Chains A and B, each alone.
Chain A
Amino acid sequence: MLIDRSKFSRRTVLAGTAAGTAVLATPSILRAQAQTLKIAVLLPRSGYLAQAGQSCHRGALVSAPVLADLGYKVEMVHIDIESNPDVARTQAERAINEGAHCIVGAFDSAGTLAIAQVCEQRQVPLIVNIAAAPQLTEQGYKFLVRNFPTGQMLVSGGLQQLKTLISATKVEPKTAVFLHANDTFGMAQRQGMDKLFPAANMPFKLVESIAYDPKAQDLSVEVTKMRSLNPDVLLVVTRAADAIKLIRDVVRQKFQPMAILSPGSPGLYDEEFFKALGPLADFCAYALPWANPKSKSSQALEAAFKKMQPDFRFPIECFNVGFTFDALLTAADAFKRAGSTNGVELMKALKSTNLVDHAMIGPPITFDEKGQNNNIPAAVVQNRGRVPTVVLPADVATMTPVLPAPPWQGRT
């Protein structure tokens, strides 16, 4: 091919380069000027974490009309990560390729860690709804914020609240066994417990820590092992499905501890737990962040939830839905302030978040330089009459706590 050198001047090259740059830059400029924030909500909606993932998903679905009413312009894309970190990584890549401006997720620490790596490479903000592994905010990720306690924060706040519970109920447990799942979350809790328990000055001695596989058929061996140690208190870190297996085997083996307590984990408050165990689900207590019934956001969320889930027994799923809503609200608020969907701009706005009204109990949502919200208080919640009921602190409690738990046999 011949080139006409007279037409191929320095000006032509410059103009061509400028035009090319403009064409190539168009998608990102359009993206940055988008009127709506496109959020990819990545959750484990199938696989062994599906129950909790579905619960968070309900939270994301119900958040859409609430955020719209509050004047936020967001569009959500719901993606299943199948309780599998590899799928989480692939789906995060896919979501970003398809134009997601930020990601919210992913309930599970392992899946969230996989997504965080992708978000960091692609400079797309990740707003963690629920995931406690400390490394999420300790590995220097610049495109991540977490409005959820770390494992250590959960354990530390949980132990303090459980100490208050024991003192309020005037029981005198001498020994405890700590049973935890051996997944990323459970192991993070174990590390927190190993580090914090010796200094927590608890009124009982921790005689053993037992790790179990959350995919196990049953927990009969684990319960037999605990029964042989005969502790007064079972401290548990579970998921919904294995919390059911635990109580089932505890009752079958006629093991009657003074209390079954969780220093901060899912399982004991899920509807699935109540459905499977009925009255046997009662009197388990857990220290967790909980939805604030007095906040405007919670009230709006509750009204929308009732409309969308008329058959659901609770006014709201106070943990999964609350945290998922707060994560989405945080993203929407940052977008409103940034006025841009550019990852760097969004991240800058996220870091300067100061959300006064939000769903969960606690002071305004803010993040430290690592992207962690350090002010997420816990309440003590006890299952009473098949409903999770706040029993401590006294100023927000609707019932007084009851320990020791009544015998299993009288309840069936």
Chain B
Amino acid sequence: MTAITLNIIVQGLLTGLVYGLMALGLSVIFGVMRVVNFAHGEFAVVAMYAAFILFERLHLDPLISLLPIAVAFFILGYGLQRTLINPFIGRAEHEQFILLVGLATVVINVLLIAFGPDARPVNLSYSFDSYDVGPLIIDKVRVFAALAALAVSAALFLFFRYTRTGTAIRACADNLTGAAVVGLNVKQLYAVTFGIGFVCIGAAGALMETIADASPSLGPSYTLMAFVIVIIGGLGSMAGALVGGVLIGVSEALAGFFIQPSMKSMFSFALLILVLILRPQGLMGRRL
């Protein structure tokens, strides 16, 4: 039973890291711009379809195609912020909410029209392979996806810590007025931030395509999952998003095994309620 339990924890941990990367995008955008992206999951599904098309047409493994997808998503995010989101910065939250929910609805319906409702898998040569580590059996795709998620997250941490643009973005997040006073181009930095948020979505979507099959109906559930993760981890905290992802992945897996698999998502929400009661700012968030 111990080996099986350990196996469950490892599987949950690996899946949780990919969830964490997806939630990271939401956290970055909110942390800097105070805009909650309600179309987050829907764009992750767009990335899944992008990975699917690149695999079908060019036989590109999603672990490789995540790079061009991430670049394309940066451009998409940047463009969206400059054209659609920017006019809503500083406006009432319900207006931002309606805008992004509307965008999410459009995205899902365009996907439905373009691809239909069928699930679209990528059948990689190693899709069904696994590693035997002692008594543990670990899926190859989950290991690769988790490692890639860690690599993308590390690159983002380094970008925000060591580059001038990253430092400027952090300055905007810490003190918007101060950043504007010292001459930072806030509009430009906001667009870059939105682009970076979309890089996370693009990369996570491509990685999710190795674990789950692309389908338009996944969008809303991914948005909800990203919200749960960032609220548990701390809205605006990058490390918190990863920790939240891992916590959700592991707790869902353990609850599914020890209680009932159909009740596992209930545990994410139970965890969410617990965090909201005991530490409303999230596990790694700053008290407001």
Is A213's beta carbon under 8 Å from chain B? yes
Q: Measured between C-beta atoms, what is the minimum distance from A319 to chain B in Å?
A: 17
The answer to whether A248 has its CB under 8 Å from any CB of chain B is: yes
**B19 closest partner in A (C-beta):** A217
A278 touches B117 (CB 8 A): no
Chain B 107-118 interface 0/1 with A at a Cβ cutoff of 8 Å (1 = within): 000001000111
CB of B111 to closest CB in A, whole Å: 10
- In the complex the two chains form, is A50's CB within 8 Å of B117's CB? yes
Which chain B residues border A197 with CB–CB below 8 Å?
none
**Cβ of A220 < 8 Å from any Cβ of B?**
yes
B130 touches A244 (CB 8 A): no
- Contact A47:B139 (CB < 8 A) given known A252-B128, A276-B123: no
Q: B165 on the interface (CB 8 Å rule)?
A: no
Residues of B within 8 A of A182 (CB): 262
For A212, the chain B residues whose CB sits under 8 A away are 261-262
- Inside 8 A of A46's CB, which chain B residues have their CB? 112, 117, 216-217
A280 sits at the interface (CB 8 A): yes
Q: How many residues of A contact B (CB 8 A)?
A: 40
List residues of A (157-211) whose CB comes within 8 Å of B's CBs.
Answer: 182, 210-211
Write the chain A residue with the least CB distance to B208.
A217
What residues on B are CB-neighbors of A83 within 8 Å?
Answer: 217
Would A225 and B261 count as touching, CB distance under 8 A?
yes
A211 with B260: CB separation less than 8 A: yes
Give the chain B neighbours of A278 by CB distance below 8 A: 123
Interface size range on B against A: 35 or more
Q: Are B211 and A50 in contact (CB under 8 A)?
A: no
Cβ contact within 8 Å between A213 and B7: no
A45 CB-CB contact with B under 8 Å: yes
Closest B residue to A46 using CB positions: B117
Taken together as a complex, chains A and B put the C-alpha atoms of A276 and B124 apart, in Å, by 11
Q: In the complex, what residues of A have CB within 8 A of residue B139's CB?
A: 220, 252-253
Assembly CA distance A62 to B4 (angstroms): 49
**Interface readout for A222-247 with B: 1 if CB under 8 Å, 0 if not?**
10110110000000000011001000
A54 at the interface (CB under 8 A from B): yes
Is A224 in contact with B265, judged by CB distance below 8 angstroms? Answer: no
Bound CA–CA A412/B261 (angstroms): 28
Complex contact A227–B253 (CB within 8 A): no
Looking across the interface, which residue of chain B has its beta carbon closest to that of A411? B128
User: A94: CB under 8 A from chain B?
Assistant: no
Binary CB contact string for chain B from 134 to 151 against chain A (1 if under 8 A, 0 otherwise): 000101110000000000
Q: Is the CB of A220 within 8 A of B118?
A: no
How does the 8 Å CB contact mask read for A277-319 relative to B, with 1 for contact and 0 for none?
0101000000000000000000000000000000000000000
CB distance from A20 to the nearest CB of B (A): 46
Contact status A227-B4, CB under 8 Å: yes
Contact A254 B121 (CB under 8 A): no
**Residues B253 and A45 in contact, CB atoms below 8 Å apart:** no
For residue A48, CB closer than 8 A to chain B, the reply is yes
Q: Cβ of A252 and Cβ of B4 under 8 Å apart?
A: no
B8 at the interface (CB under 8 A from A): yes
Asked if A224 and B262 sit within 8 Å, CB to CB, the answer is no
B212 beta carbon closer than 8 Å to chain A: yes
Which residues of chain A are near B137, meaning CB under 8 Å? 252-254
Instruction: Give A50 to B241 CA distance when docked, in angstroms.
Output: 32
Query: CB distance B118 to A272 under 8 Å?
Result: yes
Q: Hey, which chain B residues are within 8 Å of A248, CB to CB?
A: 127-128
> Of the candidates B130, B213, B217, which one forms a contact with A253 in the assembled complex, judged by CB atoms under 8 Å apart?
B130
Complex CA distance for A251 and B118, rounded to whole angstroms: 22
Cα(A276)–Cα(B118), bound, Å: 11
A215 and chain B: residue at smallest CB distance: B221
Which residues of B (152-196) have their CB < 8 Å from a CB of A? none
B215 within 8 A of A: yes
Minimum C-beta distance from A208 to chain B (A): 11
Q: Does B81 contact A (CB under 8 A)?
A: no
Partner of A213, one of B121, B217, B264: B264
Which one of A47, A225, A227, A252 contacts B117 once the chains associate, using CB atoms below 8 Å?
A47
Q: Does B97 contact A (CB under 8 A)?
A: no
Q: Is the CB of A228 within 8 A of B264?
A: no
Whole-angstrom distance from the CB of B145 to the nearest CB of chain A? 12
**B119 sits at the interface (CB 8 A):** yes
In the complex, B88 has a CB within 8 A of chain A: no
Interface of chain B residues 80 through 121 with chain A (CB within 8 A): 112, 116-119, 121
A120 an interface residue at 8 Å Cβ cutoff?
no
Which of B212, B217, B261, B264 is in CB contact (< 8 Å) with A50? Answer: B217
- Closest Cβ of chain B: how far from A96's Cβ, in Å? 26
Measured in the bound complex, the distance between the Cα atoms of B7 and A278 in whole Å is 27
Establish whether residues B128 and A412, one from each chain, have CB atoms under 8 Å apart when the complex forms: yes
| Contact of A217 with B211 at beta-carbon distance under 8 Å, contacts A51-B117, A228-B1 already known | yes
Given known contacts A213-B264, A408-B128, is B257 in contact with A221 (CB within 8 Å)? yes
Q: Is A2 an interface residue (CB 8 A)?
A: no
Whether B215 lies near A241 (C-beta < 8 A) is: yes
Contact A224 B8 (CB under 8 A): yes
CB pair A211–B216 under 8 Å, yes or no, is: no
Nearest chain A CB to B97 CB, angstrom units: 22
Docked-complex contact B116 and A216, CB < 8 angstroms: no
A280 to chain B, nearest CB (A): 7
Inter-chain contact A221/B8, CB cutoff 8 Å: yes
B117 contacts A221, C-beta separation under 8 Å: no
Judge if A218 is at the interface, Cβ distance under 8 Å: yes
Contacts of A254 in B (CB 8 A): 130, 137
Bound-state Cα–Cα, A213 to B217, Å: 15
**Residues of the A chain whose Cβ atoms lie less than 8 Å from the Cβ of B140:** 252
A276, B121: Cβ atoms closer than 8 Å: yes
Q: Can you name 16 A-B pairs with beta carbons within 8 Å?
A: A46-B112, A47-B117, A48-B215, A50-B118, A215-B221, A216-B265, A217-B211, A221-B253, A221-B261, A224-B11, A224-B257, A225-B261, A252-B129, A253-B130, A254-B130, A276-B123
Q: A46-B117, A252-B130, A253-B137 are in contact. List 8 more A-B contacts (CB 8 A).
A: A45-B117, A50-B217, A216-B265, A225-B256, A225-B257, A241-B119, A276-B123, A280-B128
| 6 A-B pairs with the lowest CB-CB distances in the bound complex, closest first | A50-B117, A221-B256, A182-B262, A211-B262, A251-B128, A222-B261
